[in-house]
Structure 1
Amino acid sequence: MTDTMNELSLTTSRHINAPAKAIYNAWLDPEMLMKFMTPGEGVTVPRSKTDPKVGGGFEIIMLTPDNNELPHTGTYKALDPHSRIVFTWQSNYSPDDSEVTLDFVEKNGGTDVTLTHVKFLNEEARDNHEKGWGLILQTLENVLK
């Protein structure tokens, strides 16, 4: 791994008009993940499973419009109810030690969600993930309305 990979990170935020508890729980519920983990036009999630405990894992299978399966897996490193989730993020487009942190802060009748993702293979992968995470947060807000 190069130093550049270690330095590449992204942070994206969104205010979602839902309580932190609902947003936190959505990230741990396989049925909910299938509804909002769609990082691009026409991408669906036909299968998802979670074991929401520290040390437990998850698997999210994304399906592209041309029927390519994109498996994403990870391990939960921290679960602080309704305030923070930290997990590893493994896919064909990320190094093994890539990590995502979600912070939830209730504010103005909703929740500020901040997603930080660290370690990428290259700048293109980081930029693609930044777009994808932004769409995922937008879809999550729509699902929770």
Structure 2
Amino acid sequence: MTTPITVPDLSERPFSLQVEREMTLTPAALYLAWTRQFDRWFAAPGSVIMQGEVDTAFFFETVYQPDAKSKPMRHPHYGRFLRLEQDRFVELTWVTGTGGTKGTETVVTIEIQEAGDGSRIFLTHAGFPDAESRDQHEYAWPMVLEQLEQKLGKREG
């Protein structure tokens, strides 16, 4: 496994969360989704710059429009891959703005285990600057994982 240039020091930022979910997707499909296919399930189409290799940076944006009368809100996401193990493990930094990580470099770790015909995913998000940021993500990540499964479908990979 390749070692990243530098790993963020989270010792001053103890706010973290964990989410676990059974999924119908295979470990290979989940690994691909997190390393090369953000535009298929999470990011705004055409906004992804991503190589899915250790020490490479990525960018994508999400767009949220609460209703037809509201102006769409753009949410840029930046980061870099820290550790990768094919079909088993993805660790990346995660930086968003207001309403997200508030510009703080956090770390998202995705552990993938085979479980019957699908997988079990363990997501840890650590290094939040405050409880408010953690709580917002603790609310959002289960919905994001549900969206991942819905958009990629059963047994794809």
TM interval, shorter chain, is 0.7 to 0.9
Aligned-partner residue type, residue 24 of structure 1? Y
Cα offset for 1:82? Answer: 0.3
Distance across 1 between alignment mates of 2:140 and 2:72: 18
Distance across 2 between alignment mates of 1:25 and 1:136: 16
1:141 aligns with 2:149: yes
Distance across 1 between alignment mates of 2:142 and 2:12: 21
Tell me if the contact between 1:10 and 1:117 (Cα under 8 Å) persists in the aligned partners. yes
Identity %: 25
Tell me if the contact between 2:104 and 2:128 (Cα under 8 Å) persists in the aligned partners. no
Q: Please identify the structure whose Cα radius of gyration is greater.
A: 2
Aligned to 1:111: 119
Aligned to 1:40: none
Q: Output one character per residue of 1:40-59: Cα deviation in whole Å (capped at 9) or x when no partner.
A: xxxx6241120211001111
Q: How many residues align?
A: 135
Aligned to 1:45: 44
Q: Runs of at least 4 residues of structure 1 off by over 2 A?
A: none
Please give the TM-score of this superposition, normalised by the length of structure 2.
Answer: 0.79
Structure holding more helix per residue: 1
1:12 aligns with 2:19: yes
Pairing 1:1-145 to 2, within 5 Å after superposition = 6-29=13-36, 32-37=37-42, 45-46=44-45, 47-65=47-65, 66-92=71-97, 93-94=100-101, 95-145=103-153
Tell me if the contact between 2:22 and 2:119 (Cα under 8 Å) persists in the aligned partners. yes
Tell me if the contact between 1:5 and 1:122 (Cα under 8 Å) persists in the aligned partners. no
Q: Output one character per residue of 1:30-89: Cα deviation in whole Å (capped at 9) or x when no partner.
A: xx312322xxxxxx6241120211001111111121322111000000010000000001
CA RMSD across the alignment: 1.8
Secondary structure in structure 2 of the residue aligned to 1:119: strand
Q: Which runs of 5+ in 2 are unaligned?
A: 1-9, 66-70
Aligned-partner residue type, residue 91 of structure 2? V
Please give the TM-score of this superposition, normalised by the length of structure 1.
Answer: 0.85
